[in-house]
Amino acid sequence: MDNNKNINKPERLDKILTSTGRWSRKEARNLIQSGRVRVGGGIVRNPAAKIETQTQTQIMTGGDINNLNINNKNNNLIFVDGELILYRREIWIMMNKPAGYLSATEDGRGAPVVLDLLTPELRKLNLFPVGRLDKDSEGLLLLTNDGQLAHKLLSPKYHVEKIYYIRVSGRLIESDITALKSGEMRLDGKLCLPADLKILKIHAFHKNQDKNKNNLSGELKAELKTGLEPELESEALLILREGRYHQAKRMLAALGKPVLYLKRVKFGNLPLDPDLKPGDFRFLTDEELNQLSRRS
Ligand code: URA
């Protein structure tokens, strides 16, 4: 895929202003025609004037100027009444989705959706989630208005890896790894692409006991000595290469290890930004976006 597809692609000035979500097309035209819009050194009064945008980071809604690497060579900066206008033609946002929100743009029954977590300005920009995380799932969710790249990233053809941290009931064992890897598991009668599982930890505990106190397999022996059968939970990383409905939950349930908690920690080569608390989001950097594009 062409990584540079957005660079130097001329765009109409009124469309650029409208894409910020701050003005309607009509308002943008009025602003331009009344001489309030400057591009680089000069006033531009033609709403249809084509402006070359030089980098994606020039393009941003909101005013988060810290994220921009504006350099002196850039002579196409746009100002309205002297204020630098930050815009992004194709917006890419990384969110740390909290549990309790639907991965949807709206819900007919009024349930909270991930778009509710964005600013009012961003909500106007036709963003949608790239794939889905279940309502009770957390972690890395991309939001964009770039249908073309989103489609590629989600296409089973491209096998973009998604990594999930999971906690399941029961003890994950070698045969679970083999079963997931085999490519012989079926969901809805259709074979799943091979998935990888990396077991991180087995917890042993008794009901009503703090799960975190007896969390290592060494201590499992001590538990067994007491004669009481401990409950077991396992932590693991699951790597999927497609995104079917409830895929992680259904694959693990088929192995008799129901998922108790799921958080997406990586999408393609993008790890979840550890600085993002649940509900937080930020724009992807140019570099991250280029990496994503390259991956597809
Ligand atoms: N698989 C699931 O079962 N749920 C998710 O939210 C993501 C992957």
What DSSP state is assigned to residue 86?
-
Q: How far is the C-alpha of 190 from the C-alpha of 194, rounded, in Å?
A: 12
Question: How far is residue 141 from each of residues 51, 81, 137, 183, measured CA to CA in Å?
Answer: 32, 36, 10, 26
Distance (angstroms) between ligand 1 centre and the Cα of 136 equals 9
Per-residue pLDDT band for 194 (boundaries 50, 70, 90) equals: very high
Per-residue pLDDT band for 5 (boundaries 50, 70, 90) equals: very low
More confident of the two residues 229 and 237: 237
Kindly state the average pLDDT of the residues 27-32.
96
Do the Cβ atoms of 54 and 76 come closer than 8 Å? yes
Among the listed residues 1, 276, 6, the one whose alpha carbon sits nearest the alpha carbon of residue 143: 276
Q: Which of 134, 188, 273, 275 is catalytic?
A: 134
CB of 288 closer than 6 angstroms to any ligand 1 atom: no
Kindly state the average pLDDT of the residues 269-292.
91
**Structure pTM?**
0.74
Helix runs in 226-273, H state only:
247-254
Do the Cβ atoms of 122 and 91 come closer than 8 Å? yes
Could you read off the pLDDT of 138-174 as tens digits, one per residue?
999 999 988 888 999 998 788 899 999 999 999 999 9
CB of 137 closer than 6 angstroms to any ligand 1 atom: yes
Distance (angstroms) between ligand 1 centre and the Cα of 189 equals 18
Residue nearest to atom 3 of ligand 1 (CA): 246
Among the listed residues 134, 101, 168, the one whose alpha carbon sits nearest the alpha carbon of residue 246: 134
What DSSP state is assigned to residue 105?
S
Q: How far is the C-alpha of 253 from the C-alpha of 185, rounded, in Å?
A: 12
- Atom in ligand 1 nearest the alpha carbon of residue 134: 6
CB of 127 closer than 6 angstroms to any ligand 1 atom: no
More confident of the two residues 290 and 72: 290
Q: How far is the C-alpha of 256 from the C-alpha of 259, rounded, in Å?
A: 10
Could you read off the pLDDT of 93-120 as tens digits, one per residue?
999 999 999 999 988 888 999 999 998 8
Active-site residue, 146 included: no
Would you state the pLDDT for residue 57? 40
More confident of the two residues 253 and 59: 253
Residue nearest to atom 7 of ligand 1 (CA): 133
Using only C-alpha atoms, the chain has a radius of gyration, in whole angstroms, of: 24
